């Protein structure tokens, strides 16, 4: 039977959405209200990142009535925060409905009143350690820091962080983001610090800054934000990025040039990202429907296909719901055995150390 919703019902749904009374809406009501809104505005979702191209296509196919407006795909987590702040009073197409940010940014956005609480229907499958108990933010996926190497230009790939200071890698090492704003780059510094034996948090952040200062002093660091194109062009022959980005870029490059993805022997850092709905979302119901799609079996398996370990990984594994073809394409499980999952406090302490100290300690203007 076709579900129809009255104008009064839609107004009620919008009211409930704006007041945060998330449990009062059924999924059918959310879907109807989302279709009435007719748009979802995302930000910072490159199609090669975690399989987001397929995720967005899947959402569009399921809900053709909802236009997906994609803002600034290459933005960093800090840029997403600023976009929400800058558009508090703007209901136009530049106002993000949803964000996908590094773990440290979820609690800080909640503290600033920038996120609307909403618990997806699969909430119980999300580990307690990576979600806000009130539903303001929740983990979506994780990966580990890796190196992706252009084999046409680099004869021997670095096997560990310490190798990046060797003379043979002069003018070849780059980060996949600005460490003053990009969560990926900020945590790459933490990983480097862990490889030096530093304690996770502020200590490792500072050790990581010293490490990159050493790489820069050796003439090995390239202040260019790395991506598939810069790797192929030779501007950033060795790029430090999440494994899922590196593996997706390898697929994108399709052997031209040949690349190798390396999980370092030490300083194996796992990074969790989180989802949230803007407290000022112009399309709050479309945002909720997007979250429901992301945390459905379909959405989680699309992230897995994009080389990410989705938040519901353990629960779906136990239930036999993981896509076996996607599992086969992931690096060997042994690559992840030494992975360290930093606590939120450690992530925050590292972020403060790195963003505050990069210019003074390393002095490379990454852009």
Tokens of 282: 């112009």
Among 156-170, 272-286, 300-314, 320-334, whose mean pLDDT is lowest? 320-334
Q: Is the pLDDT confidence value at 33 over 80?
A: yes
CA 208 to chain centre: 21
- pLDDT by residue (tens digit) across 186-210? 999 999 999 999 999 999 999 999 9
pLDDT at 11 (0 to 100): 36
Which pLDDT band, with edges at 50, 70 and 90, does 6 fall under? very low
Which pLDDT band, with edges at 50, 70 and 90, does 15 fall under? very low
Torsion sign over Cα 239, 243, 249, 253: positive
In this prediction, residues 170-191 reach a mean pLDDT of: 96
Q: Which residues make beta-bridge pairs with 277?
A: 98, 116
Q: What is the CATH number of domain 7-139+272-327?
A: 3.40.190.10
Tokens of 25: 């809406």
pLDDT at 178 (0 to 100): 96
The beta-strand segments (E) located in the chain are 39-43, 67-71, 98-102, 115-116, 138-150, 173-175, 238-242, 259-262, 270-278, 309-310
Q: Is the pLDDT confidence value at 10 over 50?
A: no
pTM of the complete model: 0.82
Residues in the chain: 367
In this prediction, residues 116-130 reach a mean pLDDT of: 95
Q: Is the pLDDT confidence value at 3 over 60?
A: no
To 5 degrees, how large is the angle CA 34–CA 37–CA 39? 90
The residue ranges of every structural domain in the chain are: 7-139+272-327, 151-269+339-361
CA dist., res. 132 & res. 252, Å (int): 35
- CATH pick for 151-269+339-361 out of 3.40.190.10, 1.10.3720.10, 3.30.420.40, 3.40.50.300: 3.40.190.10
Q: What average pLDDT is seen over the chain? A: 92
Q: Do domains 7-139+272-327 and 151-269+339-361 have the same CATH topology?
A: yes
Let me know: does 280 contact 174? Beta carbons within 8 Å: no
Q: Is the pLDDT confidence value at 161 over 90?
A: yes
Collapsing DSSP to helix, strand or coil, 104 comes out as: coil
Task: Give the phi and the psi of residue 236 in degrees, each rounded to 5.
Answer: -135, 75
Tokens of 224: 């260019």
pLDDT at 242 (0 to 100): 94
């Amino acid at each position: 039977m076709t579900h129809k919703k009255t104008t009064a019902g839609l107004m009620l749904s919008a009211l409930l959405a704006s007041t945060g009374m998330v449990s009062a809406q059924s999924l059918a009501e959310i879907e109807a209200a989302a279709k009435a809104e007719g748009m979802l505005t995302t930000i910072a979702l490159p199609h090669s990142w975690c399989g987001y191209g397929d995720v967005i296509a899947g959402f569009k196919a399921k809900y053709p009535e909802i236009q997906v407006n994609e803002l600034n795909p290459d933005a960093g987590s800090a840029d997403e925060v600023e976009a929400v702040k800058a558009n508090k009073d703007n209901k136009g197409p530049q106002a993000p409905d949803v964000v996908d940010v590094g773990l440290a940014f979820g609690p800080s956005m909640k503290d600033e009143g920038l996120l609307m609480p909403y618990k997806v229907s699969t909430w119980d499958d999300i580990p307690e350690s990576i979600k806000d108990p009130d539903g303001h933010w929740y983990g979506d996926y994780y990966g580990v820091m890796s190196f992706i190497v252009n084999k046409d230009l680099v004869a021997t790939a670095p096997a560990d962080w310490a190798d990046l200071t060797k003379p043979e890698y002069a003018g070849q090492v780059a980060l996949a983001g600005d460490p003053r704003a990009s969560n990926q780059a900020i945590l790459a510094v933490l990983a480097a610090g862990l490889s030096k034996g530093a304690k996770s948090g502020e200590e490792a952040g500072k050790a990581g800054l010293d490490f990159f200062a050493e790489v820069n002093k050796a003439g090995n660091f390239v202040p260019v934000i790395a991506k598939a194109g810069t790797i192929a062009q030779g501007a950033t022959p060795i790029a430090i990025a999440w494994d899922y980005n590196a593996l997706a870029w390898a697929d994108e490059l399709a052997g031209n040039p040949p690349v190798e993805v390396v999980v370092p022997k030490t300083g194996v850092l796992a990074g969790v990202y989180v989802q949230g709905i803007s407290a000022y979302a112009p399309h709050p119901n479309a945002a909720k429907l997007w979250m429901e799609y992301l945390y459905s079996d379909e959405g989680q398996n699309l992230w897995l296909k994009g080389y990410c370990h989705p938040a519901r990984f353990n629960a779906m594994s136990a239930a036999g719901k993981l896509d076996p073809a996607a599992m086969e394409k992931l690096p060997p499980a042994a690559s992840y055995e030494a992975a360290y999952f930093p606590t939120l406090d450690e992530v925050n302490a590292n972020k403060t150390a790195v963003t505050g100290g990069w210019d003074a300690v390393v002095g490379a203007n990454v852009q």
